Amino acid sequence: MAADTSKPFFPAAPHSALVPSGRKASRLSPESSYWRSFRASELTSPSEFNVTHLAFSPSPSPAPTLAASWATSVLLFSGDPLSPLPRLSVSDDVTFSPSFRSDGALLAVGDKKGVVRVFRPDKKSSGPLRTLRGHSAETRVVRYPVAGGDKVHLFTAGNDALLSYWDVPSETPVFTVPAAHRDYIRAGAASPVDHNIFATGSYDHTVKLWDARTGQTPSLSFSHGELVESVLFLPSGGLLATAGGNMVKIWDVIGGGRLVHSVESHVKTVMALALAKMSSTGETRLLSAGSDGYVKCFDYGELKLTHSMRYPMELLSLACSPCGTVLVAGSSKGVIFMGRRKKKQTEDDEEEGKGVGGEFDWAPPKPEKTRLTPSSHRYFLRGQNAKAKKGDFVIEKPKKVKFAEHDKLLRKFRHKDALVSALAQKNPRSAVAVMEELIARRKLVRCIGNLQTKELEKLLLFLHRNATLPRYARFLMGVANKVLEIRANDIRSDENLRGCIRNLKRMVTEEIQIQHTLQGIQGMISPMLVLASR
């Protein structure tokens, strides 16, 4: 039977649900476009070590410096984009919580045994400058003060629930609180407006505010309600953000610990908090990283979430560079994810930022170039790069004074190394000056006791050559007696040292004979001079 061709095989009118709507696709907001402009990459390869802490140097340099706790060492990255530097070996155990000093010149790191060490990040081979021993368990919180330019203090806390406030140059605690919390202390933050104020968070669900001027008792205490993993002061210093469980809470510490807002944006534990400055608008956002692999961006001025970023691994740490162009996140698999934003927007980024939720089109106005007038400081800095012409009177800058190696070591309080460096120069004036400085610091006896056999041999050779010089004889003979008193056992057990002592003894004997001879000659000449004067 022939088919009926009067009716179409398919219905002419499709179902209404299959017809695409006439609405245009919603455009991204400027903030979403801003965070999408970060180009993601990996700084490290997967490994079995957790990246528990990340920290950027606060120094205002165009090339940021990043420190990451990684196994028994600290990974350092610097430059734009970030590139790896030589690894900083800290201890024989797992490291935690690297913290830069306010000027970025020093880096403090804790470890699993409770020892805190202070390093120069630009000189990895010099070893720790200071070693702070006061904790008996993991030191998970190591923080330098942020405000006020305080460069000598440091506060630490750890799994032994001990809180310590240190005077770093003397390696002694200003005060300690043995039971600051009832459980592990895993979070800490320094106030951005007062170098005496800092906060700690613990697994006993509490957050406490401390004042270094009062010491033993907390100034404020309140409960987060979950195990506290991270605390962070907001830029004003009056608000404090805490993370624990799947919640991030903001507290008014000036108002007595009043809860301002609570955010439950993660489905798993929030592990880290960080502040990020948006280079496009200058505004600051609160970022949170969780073990669900998400980084959430929160506008604490409007109290709303503005963007989410997804990572393929569980995140344990988070940090953003002071300039706001680099965002890094550390994972439980040893991978450090880096998102870098170029300083100049590309044409694609400019096209993406042309909408606000599909309702408003807005772009920040470009600042107008101001005309220089005599009331501006820049007016008087014009022409500084101009080259001098023939006949111009040029005022040259004074040349920078170059310090000797032993002077640099004395500034770093490396007393024994300064003494060895001065002895190696074979300049008696410098060596005696270093010894006199060590006596003023009450460190010469300790340095002599810590000298190794080769270094002690250099000191004895120096005494043999210069102990009879009239200018230094009295001082160096006293040093020689002190060396014999302190290192007698070492001298008896080493043939080279015994030879140096025999030479020194022979030289002293000869000098005594010469002095006796000179005294006899003086006795004969004195009467003749008296008769000649008459």
For the entire predicted model, the pTM comes to: 0.60
C-alpha to C-alpha distances, 363 to 280, 285, 352, 356, 370, nearest whole angstrom: 10, 19, 11, 9, 21
Q: What is the pLDDT of residue 348?
A: 45
Cα angle 170-174-176, degrees, rounded to a multiple of 5 = 125
State the Cα–Cα distance between residues 487 and 451, nearest whole angstrom. 9
Rg (CA), the chain: 34
DSSP E strand boundaries for 300-372:
304-310, 315-320, 326-331, 336-340
Q: pLDDT > 70: what percent of the chain?
A: 90
pLDDT tens digit sequence for 263-295: 998 999 999 999 998 887 888 999 999 999 999
Q: Is 333 exposed, middle or buried (0-12, 13-18, 19+ CB in 10 A)?
A: middle
pLDDT tens digit sequence for 169-200: 999 999 999 999 999 999 999 999 999 999 99
State the Cα–Cα distance between residues 281 and 324, nearest whole angstrom. 11
Q: What is the pLDDT of residue 365?
A: 64
* 387 vs 423, higher pLDDT: 423
DSSP 29: P
- Model confidence at 364, pLDDT cuts 50, 70, 90, reads low
pLDDT tens digit sequence for 393-428: 888 888 888 888 999 999 999 999 999 999 998 889
Which residues, including other chains, have CB under 8 Å from residue 36's CB and lie 6 or more apart? 28, 352
